[in-house]
Amino acid sequence: MSDTIPIALPSDPPVTVELARALGLTENEYRVIEARLGRRPTYTELGVFSVMWSEHCSYKSSKLHLRQLPHSGRAVVRGPGENAGAIEIGDGWLAVFKIESHNHPSYVEPYQGAATGVGGIIRDILAMGARPIATLNSLKFGDFDYPRMTYLVRGVVGGIGGYGNCVGVPTVGGEASFSKEYNKNILVNVFCLGLARKGELMSASAKSVGSAVIYAGSATGRDGIHGASLLASAEFDSAEKSKRPSVQVGDPFMGKILIEACLEAFATGAVEACQDMGAAGLTSSSSELAARGGLGIELDLDKVPLREPALTPYEILLSESQERMLLLVCPGREGEVLSVFRKWDLPACVVGRIVAENRWRAFYRGALVADIPVNALTVDAPVYNRPVKARPVARDYSHSSTLCKSRGELEHGEVLRVLIGSPNVASKRWIYRQFDYLVQSNTLVEPGGDAAVLRIKGTQRALAIAVDSNFRLCARDPYIGAVAAVCEAALNVACVGATPVGITDCLNYGSPERPEVMWEFARSVEGIRDAALALEIPVVSGNVSFYNETDGQPIPPTPTIAVVGVLNERAHRLSSYFKRADDAVALVKGGKLRLAATAYEALLEQKRSGVSFGWVLPPIEPELVKATVDALSEAAALGIVSSAHDVSEGGIGVALVECCFNPNGVLGVEVSLDGLDELGVGEALFAEGTPLVIVSLPEANLERAAKVFTDRGLEFKTLGKVKNEPKLTVKDLIDEDCNALWEVYHRALPRRLGEHV
Amino acid sequence: MKWGVITFPGSLDDGDALYALREVMGQEAIALWHADERLYGVECVVLPGGFSYGDYLRCGALARFSPVMKSVARFARDGGLVLGICNGFQILCEARLLPGALTRNRSLSFICDRVALRVENASTPLTRLFSVGDVIRLPIKHGAGLFVASDEELALVEKRGQVLLRYVNAEGQATDEANPNGSLNNIAAIANETFNVFGLMPHPEHAVEADLGGEDGLKLFYSLVAEDR
């Protein structure tokens, strides 16, 4: 068979350079394909190359940079290159996790785009042999005043809930921002974590010649063809609606059944390897499974379950229909696995075999229609060292000491109310109230805290998860912004008392063909690298999303960072809100306070458009963040701290307000910011910083706690006291009713969405 | 007491119900499979939360035709205890083992939250450990929890004391603001005429541990156990 040349079908269009270009390949890439094959590709083969060599599948522009990231660590069981990363967390358990983007599909069709984003990442975790136990999301929307934005917000939130709630995996946290830079290119990044027993991780590499290739799940339809190449790997123009057929449609019920059936199939011990048919569907899953094992694969396309009979080989191979898994099963044990799927009423059948020769072959109606070296599709796909061009970074800001003047006539209390009522700062309850965050009975800290906390049943341990990004900082300086995202996610995890153990990153940028964007990307990766090294947290998985631009306008560089942490004793976890009156309130601080690239600055700029304040962007010292993380985890284990809350969007004042929102009854606080006057006390109220954490603790523990932090070179400054009376008092600056602030904080988002609350 | 928790295709809280019964309460509890008619001598059948068959048709409309539901109907007619939670409640209404129906929330959105509920009838097997007027807190998480019934049916349900729990505010008043989904008369849980079949939209199995949202759900399960003695 192997000497035969694959045939073209009568319906195939002629293969030309123009066709290759229309499929997203460059002329040069087309020439390389001809050289690798030693002949002209068939239409089917050209389609296969176009998706496998797309940016989305091949990482051709990012690969060289990503190599710098620290991947190893004592606890790392699987690093990048597999379906997800895996970290040992104790008691024989592995945490398996990854974050992924579904940006363009969500902009074109928000409900299905977001829904299938959730489904896809869940199946990546499932493919590792882990039971998915939680998802989180990071959402970037545009300005509410932008025409389609309310529709997009409702659609995305509805889609995440629609899929997540029905598939039985709780949506336990996340973040959402709103800014005009994302008006024409919203971001939907979804994180999923699963648990697997040590030693029971599923492989993603073919192992033995003769293994059966089993297709399980939904039948293949025409949806999602060229999702990976034309939708995910190209910039948008105003005609994005015409791309709607490239968006897949989700079936969460099938997704749920697939989870149960696959886990049961894995338990038979007959499954050697597994992969989700995600981007580039059957093509990528089959070729990647074979490539990792250094083997080949033959597919019989006539066996693939189809929704309609007329699908061509091209369509079958490129379809991105959802809820499909590809399993490699030990020769002779196919029956055991197929009977599990039968029990769950799920279509499953053998569609091919693993072969020794390094070829990827597809047969259709008995004829060979594709015959490609496996490596040409995978490890030998093009890699580009794209040109970079630094764009000027505003480092030359001089320190201004006349800050109060620029705030002008605005009174502190008013600024605070405006900030906590702004969509970026306000409560995201409107969003997470539409998500089931309780199913599976593990959720110890629900959405709204610094990090989600999930218990691990049968142990005393718990996992903490936070996702973070900082588009304002990244827009100003992609390096500092990336460092900040890693540090903030690590601090969020530390604020519940956990020790960070692993990072997964989702890197969202404009077109890599623009040298300025490539520079932003390179600087971001360097930032993540430096922060991860300093914090000693390995990056075990990730995803790159380029071409986030519309009509030539790229989004700001947006690396989204998820950090997973472990709490050895779940009883030691800290809340983000104050626990009781009379506790002392203190600020943990390393490095300088910052007004540049804060919510406060954005507010002032909005009030007086065109005015730039010339505030400096101080460097972040990840070593001080590491010290804070260690100190928080020690303080939590010693039981000397009651609560900890990371100061982020909105600054110290907003963080103090959030600390007062104890769900069992709003508390108050009385503090003085005297001595935080490097900026002037009035501005310190709205300053952000990294690391900057508000802790509360019994007064009797002050001395011991101070030592834990100051011994590590951090400032520990007592600010005041928690009060029973729900009043926020900041000496000389603020005197506000916390219940009124609670109303502003919780009603802002529904109000922006036009709902009565 | 021996419990059975049914798994329909698309059930989601079946594992959580089993966990609550076995691990938290130390009860004997087995998993029942939708395609298997046998009930294996259980004394209480639980229909768990979730999205059976994806709820792509009406919620619960397909699950009621599962083979196991024939046995559940027979078991209920013979006076056996049946507890439907959320999707289980929807299935029991579809199977006409409970009056009324559950339709889309008035907000048209899925709601996950903790709500206050007032005990309306404390002399049923599900509520006997409570007193009338007790206010408890349980989580809800559903997209179709709006309880409806015809005027006559509703009047009868009220008159016979079949309403077990009502959505209330912190002060225990059944106000419109405290009604999360628009249910008629703020109804959150009901019983059948013979008080052995129960349906509730809130999730007691998610309120059985102090550090995971409180223990008010435990008392409902223990009420059923007390019935056994």
Residue of A nearest to B87 (CA): A166
Q: In the β-sheet with A187-197, what is the strand arrangement from edge to edge?
A: A76-78, A85-90, A93-101, A187-197, A131-141, A171-178
Q: How many CB atoms lie within 10 A of CB A160?
A: 29
* pLDDT computed for residue A83 by the predictor: 87
Low-confidence ranges of chain B (pLDDT < 50): 229
If pLDDT is split at 50, 70 and 90, which confidence band does A401 have? very low
Selecting among B34, B142, B203, B206, the annotated active-site residue is: B203
Report, in angstroms and rounded to the nearest whole number, the Rg of chain B calculated over CA atoms.
16
CATH of the domain at A193: 3.90.650.10
Q: Do B10 and A344 touch (CB under 8 A)?
A: no
Integer-rounded Cα radius of gyration of chain A: 26
Q: Is the pLDDT of residue A608 over 70?
A: no
Q: Are A466 and A493 in contact (CB under 8 A)?
A: yes
Is B203 annotated in the active site?
yes
Tens-digit pLDDT profile for residues A179-217: 999 999 999 999 999 999 999 999 999 999 999 999 999
Could you tell me if residue A300 is inside a domain? yes
Contacts of A131 (CB under 8 A, 6+ apart): A194, A195, A196, A259, A263
Strands across the sheet containing B163-168: B28-33, B2-7, B44-47, B81-85, B197-200, B187-191, B163-168, B111-119, B135-142
Q: Provide the 3-class DSSP secondary structure of residue A544.
A: strand
* Domain assignment present for A148: yes
List pLDDT tens digits, range A86-139: 999 999 999 999 999 999 989 989 999 999 999 999 999 999 999 999 999 999
Alpha-carbon A575 to chain mean position: 24
Mutate to test the interface with B, among A135, A154, A166 (most CBs of B within 10 A): A166
B65 touches chain A (CB under 8 A): no
Residue B25 distance to chain A (closest CA, Å) = 15
Establish if B211 touches chain A: CB-CB under 8 angstroms.
yes
Please name the amino acid found at residue A273. A
Q: Which of B86, B120, B142, B206 is catalytic?
A: B86
Q: Residue A405's pLDDT is what?
A: 45
Confidence of residue A223 (pLDDT cuts 50, 70, 90): confident
Interface of A with B (CB under 8 A): 158, 161-162, 165-166, 168, 251-254, 256-257, 344-345, 432-444, 455, 457, 570
> Of the candidates A348, A377, A406, which is a domain's last residue?
A377
Other Cβ atoms closer than 10 A to A410:
13
Structure token pair of residue B226 = 């007390």
Going from N- to C-terminal start, the domains of chain B cover 2-224
Ranges A51-55, A237-241, A569-573, A667-671: which has the least confidence: A237-241
Q: What pLDDT is attached to residue A396?
A: 38
Question: Are residues A438 and B206, on separate chains, in Cβ contact within 8 Å?
Answer: yes
- Would A498 be classed as within a structural domain? no
Tell if the CB–CB gap between A435 and B112 is shorter than 8 Å: yes
Q: Which of B25, B211, A343 is CA-nearest to residue B5? A: B25
Q: Give the domain extent around A688.
A: 574-752
Residues of B in contact with A427 (CB under 8 A): none
Residues from chain A that touch B49, judged by Cβ atoms under 8 A, are 439
Domain B2-224 is in which class?
A: alpha beta
Secondary structure string (H, E, C) spanning A287-336: HHHHHHCCCEEEEEHHHCCECCCCCCHHHHHHCCCCCEEEEEECCCCHHH
**ipTM confidence:** 0.96
A570 vs B contacts (CB less than 8 Å): 211
Q: Does a structural domain hold residue A427?
A: no
Amino acid at residue number A338: L
SS3 B76: helix
Alpha carbon B93 to its chain centroid, in Å, reads 11
Please give the biggest Cα pair distance in chain A: 86
Q: Tell me whether residue B43 is one of the annotated catalytic residues.
A: no
Q: Which of A335, A354, A377 is the last residue of a domain?
A: A377
pLDDT of A62 above 90: yes
HSE-CB at A184 with a 13 A cutoff on CA atoms is: 17
A457 and B110 within 8 Å at the Cβ level: the answer is: no
Would the pLDDT of A402 be above 60?
no
Q: Could you give the CA distance from residue A304 to residue A297 in angstroms, rounded to a whole number?
A: 15
Q: What residues have CB less than 8 Å from B109, skipping those under 6 apart?
A: A158, A161, A434, B143
Could you tell me the pLDDT band of residue A82, with boundaries at 50, 70 and 90?
A: confident
Closest approach of B98 to chain A, Cα-based (Å): 24
Instruction: Give the active site residue among A65, A71, A102, A104.
Output: A102
Position B75 scores a pLDDT of 98
Hey, which residues does A100 pair with through a beta bridge?
Answer: A190
Structure tokens at A412: 């502190």
pLDDT higher for B196 or A309?
Answer: B196
Q: Domain for residue A390, yes or no?
A: no
Indicate the pLDDT class of residue A232, thresholds 50, 70 and 90. Answer: low
Position A592, amino acid: K
Weakest-pLDDT range from A187-191, A276-280, A407-411: A407-411
**End-to-end Cα separation, chain A, in angstroms:** 69
Task: Compute CA distances B55 → A114, A162, B62, B82, B143, whole Å.
Answer: 20, 11, 8, 21, 10
Chain B CA closest to residue A438 = B206
Residue in the block written with tokens 């990004």: A469
Q: How many CB atoms are located within 10 Å of the residue B176 CB? A: 9
The answer to whether residue B86 is catalytic is: yes
Token pair of A194, please?
Answer: 């699963």
- Grade residue A615 by pLDDT with cuts at 50, 70 and 90: confident
What percentage of chain A exceeds 90 in pLDDT? 81
Position A45: which residue type? E
Which residues does A697 contact at the CB level (< 8 Å), separation at least 6?
Answer: A583, A584, A586, A640, A641, A642, A705
pLDDT of residue A47: 93
If pLDDT is split at 50, 70 and 90, which confidence band does A73 have?
confident
For residue A241, pLDDT over 90 is answered with: no
Out of A315-319, A383-387, A392-396, least confident range: A392-396
d(CA A122, CA A115): 11
**Pairing of β B197-200 and β B81-85:** parallel
- β-pair type (B28-33, B2-7): parallel
> What count of other Cβ atoms lies within 10 Å of the Cβ of residue A148?
14
- In chain B the first and final C-alpha atoms are separated, in Å, by 9
Count of domains for chain A: 2
How far apart are the CA of B117 and the nearest CA of chain A, in angstroms?
A: 17
Q: Which of A358, A377, A396 is the last residue of a domain?
A: A377
